[in-house]
Amino acid sequence: MQRVLPLLIDYSQNAFVPGRSIIDNVLLAQELMAGYNQRRLPQRCTLKVDIQKAYDSVEWDFLLEVLRLFNFPHQFITLINQCVSTASFSVSLNGSIHGFFKGGRGLRQGDPMSPYLFVLVMEIWNSLLRFRIRNAPEFQYHWKCKELGLTNLCFADDVLLFCKAHLPSIKVLTNTLTEFATLSGLKVNPAKSQIILSSSVQQERQQILEYLGFHEGSLPIRYLGIPLTSSRLTIADCRPLIDKVDARLAGWNNQNLSYAGRLQLIKSVLSTLNTYWASAFILPKGILKSLEKKMRRFLWHGSSGSGIAKVAWVQVCKPKEEGGLGISSLIATNQALMLKQLWRILQHDGNSIWVDWVYRYRLRHSTIWTFNGTTGSWGWKKLLKLRPLLRSGVTYKIGDGSSFNLWQDVWHERGPLCLTYPQGPRITGLPLTTLLSSVLQRNQWCWPASIDAEIVAQLPPTDPTAADTIYWNSSSGTYSLKSAVSLIQPSTPRVLWYGLLQGKFKVPRHGFVLWLAIMEKLSTMDKPWVPRAENGCVLCDGHFNETHEHLFFNCWYSKRCLSILKSKIRFHWPYSEWQRGLIWASKNGEATTLLMRLFGLPWQP
């Protein structure tokens, strides 16, 4: 069923459909609700509809009729009927399970088939809504929705409806919801639904509210877990994200975790909690720095500790091969995730309603490179500021020239020619909408004689037998988060000792302590975070300062211990200086495992 959903489901629904993204709903809703606080813009409204007990209310007869309508095989429909109608339920009362009883409707939550069936049910409502609107001349679309025929965004049972703030239009939407409820059993819960009216709605406001019976909401509102605003995202709007991180940290308070354990939790849990938000917005830097501060404190001191970090966070965030711990910078990750949205626009992603809307209403007469309009949400404006990064991450390969704009695409090393050579369209007589193919004939450039000679001298090669292609500058030629982060974060040379920390049989906690030793950040007495009365080495009766070099090579007690260890494990360390010994160990395969064992034993956190 999953394979056929993209063919059956309108792209205003993005839940559980392969190739579609929940982020499209958030991005498009944000664009449509931009400027709701401005009275000079057209009157419009958004209905945030709550469907009462959505999965539990689907009528089985209606579901089976939906499957027949979509021409699913009879045998398949019979199997689905058996799956949904044979379930029995029991009730937990005072800690005991009592009885079994048959259900009469609904889809079982947790069943992997249920989401797909529910999406098909909602598609019938979508089709019904389109049909009623086509036959309702009084209906007026929401601003910037008519060309796409856009009236709703659905993600399973999370529904947004859009129209002009005009009572006859609202009646068309609500009447369709009522009709659909009669057929399917899916009813609107007015107590949990709300309507958001733009500030330009004055005279009809009270009349609309009285008719609907919905609560009047105000921006920001939460949609799919993310705040939608009419202005920029504030730190207060991001409070739920901070609270989520704090809740995770609080749950780890009583766990005695090693450095390596805390590092793994940061990578697998804390670093990913903001990924969803970071895929939809350029988050405020204050929020990202606050999250990184919490991660840094947790790494070095646990959930409730505080103090000085042993190694600078910039070093920690470097890739492992460059001497760091491989934690991605949240700011770089946020920008990399948003670069993906620009990449999707460049690729004209056909599965995305948001990309389609962008081309219809934002890039009608321009490209992503030359758009300079002042309209749009704050998120759109922030996204456009990433264009220089995108430019450094993509390459245009010219084929027959039929897909690239002559003046507004970045196929030329100068960038968009309409910006670097603004008089070009006037001088050549070729308008801004001209395609590159108009100056290509039989694999030869055919420019007007009036064109700037420098432009002609820098023309790239072409391949008329191939299609125009835009490549991401990576080995695969397509976007990946890792390659985008590498594009944003400046790389440093690979460290020689990288191999000492990596390997199939190496213990992570030993590797972390060895990394601290390599950084010369072990807790010797000369370090500022170590509580002490004096700097003297206690093993030498305080006669010498306890430093990194002293601890390993000059302390008489350490020398004796190392001598015994070397004799027992037949291990020869030929140097008495840390850096020279480190270089030797990096080149000596046998020394790698021995070093990790050696440094991992005495200085466990």
pLDDT at 548: 76
23 token code pair: 């982020």
Taking a C-beta distance cutoff of 8 angstroms, is the pair 270, 248 a contact? yes
- Which of 303, 327, 351 marks a domain boundary? 327
| Range in 20-34, 122-136, 297-311 with the lowest mean pLDDT | 297-311
Give the pTM: 0.89
The H-or-E segment that residue 29 falls in is helix 22-32
| Range in 31-40, 121-130, 457-466 with the lowest mean pLDDT | 457-466
Which tens digits make up the pLDDT trace of 260-305?
899 999 999 998 899 999 999 999 999 999 999 999 999 998 876 7
335 located within any domain: no
| Range in 187-201, 374-388, 507-521 with the lowest mean pLDDT | 507-521
| Range in 30-39, 253-262, 434-443, 483-492 with the lowest mean pLDDT | 253-262
Higher pLDDT, 592 or 514: 514
Q: Which domain holds residue 512?
A: 498-600
Statement: residue 546 has pLDDT above 80: no
Average pLDDT, the chain: 87
pLDDT at 584: 73
234 located within any domain: no
246 and 189 part of one domain: no
| Range in 186-200, 263-277, 483-497, 569-583 with the lowest mean pLDDT | 569-583
145 and 285 part of one domain: no
Statement: residue 503 has pLDDT above 50: yes
174 and 263 part of one domain: no
Give the span between the Cα atoms of 15 and 154, in whole angstroms: 8
40 and 118 part of one domain: yes
Q: Determine how β-strand 45-50 pairs with β-strand 444-445.
A: unpaired
Statement: residue 31 has pLDDT above 90: yes
Phi-psi region of 146 (alpha: psi -120 to 50; beta: other; left: phi over 0): alpha
68 and 200 part of one domain: yes
pLDDT at 604: 45
pLDDT at 119: 95
Give the span between the Cα atoms of 486 and 452, in whole angstroms: 36
The DSSP bridge partners found for residue 152 are 161
50 located within any domain: yes
- Which of 311, 327, 343 marks a domain boundary? 327
| Range in 81-90, 283-292, 333-342, 414-423 with the lowest mean pLDDT | 81-90
| Range in 43-57, 116-130, 201-215, 562-576 with the lowest mean pLDDT | 562-576
Higher pLDDT, 597 or 577: 577
Mean pLDDT of 83-99: 80
221 and 285 part of one domain: no
89 and 56 part of one domain: yes
Tell me if the bond preceding 112 is cis, omega within 30° of 0.
no
420 located within any domain: no
Statement: residue 589 has pLDDT above 80: no
| Range in 127-131, 209-213, 579-583 with the lowest mean pLDDT | 579-583
72 located within any domain: yes
pLDDT at 545: 78
Mean pLDDT of 103-120: 89
Which tens digits make up the pLDDT trace of 448-474?
888 888 888 888 988 888 899 999 999
400 located within any domain: no
Ranges of H-type helices in 224-375: 239-251, 259-265, 271-273, 275-278, 285-301, 313-316, 330-346, 353-361
211 and 145 part of one domain: yes
508 and 571 part of one domain: yes
Statement: residue 508 has pLDDT above 90: no
pLDDT at 102: 79
418 located within any domain: no
258 and 214 part of one domain: no
Taking a C-beta distance cutoff of 8 angstroms, is the pair 300, 350 a contact? no
Mean pLDDT of 241-251: 91
209 and 294 part of one domain: no
Hey, what amino acid is at 28? Answer: L
Taking a C-beta distance cutoff of 8 angstroms, is the pair 301, 293 a contact? no
The helix-helix angle for 508-518 and 589-600 (nearest 10°) equals 90
- Which of 202, 228, 254 marks a domain boundary? 228
Q: Please state, for a pLDDT cut of 70, what percent of the chain lies above it.
A: 93
Give the span between the Cα atoms of 394 and 400, in whole angstroms: 19
435 located within any domain: no
The H-or-E segment that residue 585 falls in is helix 578-587
Helix/strand/coil (H/E/C) assignment for every residue in 321-340: HHCCCCCCCHHHHHHHHHHH
Give the span between the Cα atoms of 568 and 35, in whole angstroms: 75
pLDDT at 592: 58
Number of domains in the chain: 3
Taking a C-beta distance cutoff of 8 angstroms, is the pair 109, 53 a contact? no
Give the span between the Cα atoms of 459 and 321, in whole angstroms: 38
176 and 31 part of one domain: yes
